[in-house]
Amino acid sequence: MRNKKSIITITIVTFSLAVLSLILTSTSHAHKETDLTGVKACTDHDHDHDHELELNPASNTDSSKSDDDHDESHGEELVILTDQEKANIGLKTAIAGADTIHTTVKAYGELKLNRDKVVYISTPIAGIVSRINANLGDEITVNSPLATLESRELAELRAEYLAASTTAQIAEKTFTRENELWQNQLNSQTDIFASEEELAHARIYEQLTAQKLLAVGYSMTELDKLKQNNMFLADYELKSPINGTLLEKNCNIGELISEGNSPSFVIADLKTLWADVYLPAGLSGKIDIDQEITISPEAQEQSIRAKIFYISPVVNNETQTIFARTLVNNEAGKYRANDFITAEIVVDEQRKPVVIAKDAVQTMADGKYVFVLRHDGFEMIQVTVGLSGADTVEITSGLSVGDEYVTQGAFALKSRILTATLDSHAGHGH
């Protein structure tokens, strides 16, 4: 009986343990499924989140890249214009090709009087000014009287000349009479020798007094008139030896002027002027006589082409410069002495394979560009520039010989592209 109870008890315990083990196993499995489900959900959520994080930077990068490409890839822009639009901006084109680049330097200088055409008129004798016939700025013709002097010294010279001339005439008549008497054997040889000697002395003295008058400005014609008309002995006229403009007048009526005083008048022929251009001494080997330079006087829109006819052989010790001198035609009277000038001088010449007009090159933030004709439009091509001249520039890359490019109106085309770029950025909310 006891054994039977023991068996029953063991059986109940075993069953209970089995049931408990089953319950524990089910509960553990359920918890395990719940945990796995949560990890999966969490994993799926994290995966989706990571995917979004990968897409957004990519999207931003692509957008940024698109903007950069839009900013930098100017060469892909094509500007198409109607014929009327081309006319409105004055669009012109040219063909790229070989040409010579002239390297120039800019220098400064001034216009000066042509000193070869300036005269300083002074009196060679003392006298009192009795009349003035010209004023500052007057156009003077050659031999026109500028002023009249009353001169005692001149009166003495004229009287001396007239006396010498009269003496010579008398001596000549005496010699002629003595010679006739000698031919008729009515006088001695001594008489004719004496008259011949007197004639020689009289002629020498006449020539001496004539030279004194010639030295003060008389001409042979005036000497002849003096002998014929016996004009008023004291009047002396200051005359101009050239045609020109009266620049200075340094005498007044009633003033005593004499030899050695400052010039009474200064007259200059202003039809030509000198242009002196000052250059660094180091350029002396790059300029030459007969070389043409371009001169631009201040307050004048039109420049002048002139040739160098003189180069200073001495360097200015203070400024370390030399000067080159040209002759400027001033027939029209547009230029004035002492005006400042700007000059351009060619110091080097090189021939290059691809040369275009300098105005055709447009500068952008990332480089230099030229508009080239492509089918129906104009494409902005990035170029590399080389040697630059006054009006032209060498292109070392970007253009080829034969390319048709915009020489006038390029800035207007550039403005269109920049405006389109700004509008595009505004549309993206930038």
Q: How far out from the chain centre does Cα 290 lie? A: 18
Between 25 and 291, the higher pLDDT residue: 291
State the pLDDT confidence band at 424, using cuts at 50, 70 and 90. low
Give the pLDDT confidence score for residue 37 in this predicted structure.
32
User: What is the mean predicted confidence (pLDDT) over 319-332?
Assistant: 94
| Assigned token pair, 80 | 């198409």
- What are the pLDDT digits (tens) for 352-386? 999 999 999 999 888 999 999 988 789 999 999 99
Tens digit of each residue's pLDDT (9 = 90 or more) over 82-118:
889 889 999 999 999 999 998 888 999 999 999 999 9
pLDDT tier for residue 156 given thresholds of 50, 70 and 90: confident
The residue-averaged pLDDT of 345-357 equals 91
pLDDT at 71: 41
Is the pLDDT at 24 greater than 70? The verdict is no
> Is residue 45 over pLDDT 60?
no
What amino acid is encoded at 211 in this protein? Q
| List of residues 6+ apart from 97 with CB closer than 8 A | 354, 355, 401, 402
Q: In terms of residues, how long is the chain?
A: 430
Predicted structure pTM score = 0.61
Are 152 and 234 in contact by the 8 Å Cβ rule? The answer is: yes
Average pLDDT over residues 145-154: 90
Residue 8 reports pLDDT greater than 60: no
Give CA–CA dist 326/275, Å, rounded.
5
Residue 402, pLDDT > 80, answer yes
Q: For residue 127, is pLDDT > 50?
A: yes
As a whole number of angstroms, the distance between CA 241 and CA 265 comes to: 12
pLDDT tens-digit series, residues 331-343: 999 999 999 999 9
Its sign, for the CA torsion 140, 144, 150, 155, is positive
According to the model, what pLDDT value does residue 82 have?
87
- CA distance readout (Å), 36 to 22, 41, 357: 21, 9, 77
- Quickly count: other Cβ atoms within 10 Å of residue 375's Cβ: 8
d(CA 396, CA 388): 11
Q: List Cβ neighbours of 94 (8 Å cut-off, separation of 6 or more).
A: 356, 357, 360, 404, 405, 407
Could you give the C-alpha distances from 345 to 107, 290, 307, in angstroms and in order? 8, 12, 11
Q: 323: pLDDT confidence band, cut at 50, 70 and 90?
A: very high
- Confidence at residue 83, expressed as pLDDT on a 0 to 100 scale: 87
The HSE-up count of residue 110 (CA atoms within 13 Å, CB side) is 6
Each residue's pLDDT tens digit, 182-222: 787 777 878 878 888 888 998 999 899 989 888 887 788 87
**Which is more confident, 3 or 92?**
92
Chain mean position to CA 410:
25
In this prediction, residue 68 has a pLDDT band, given cuts at 50, 70 and 90, of very low
For the ranges 63-77, 125-139, 346-360, 414-428, the lowest mean pLDDT is seen at 63-77
How many percent of the chain have pLDDT more than 90? 46
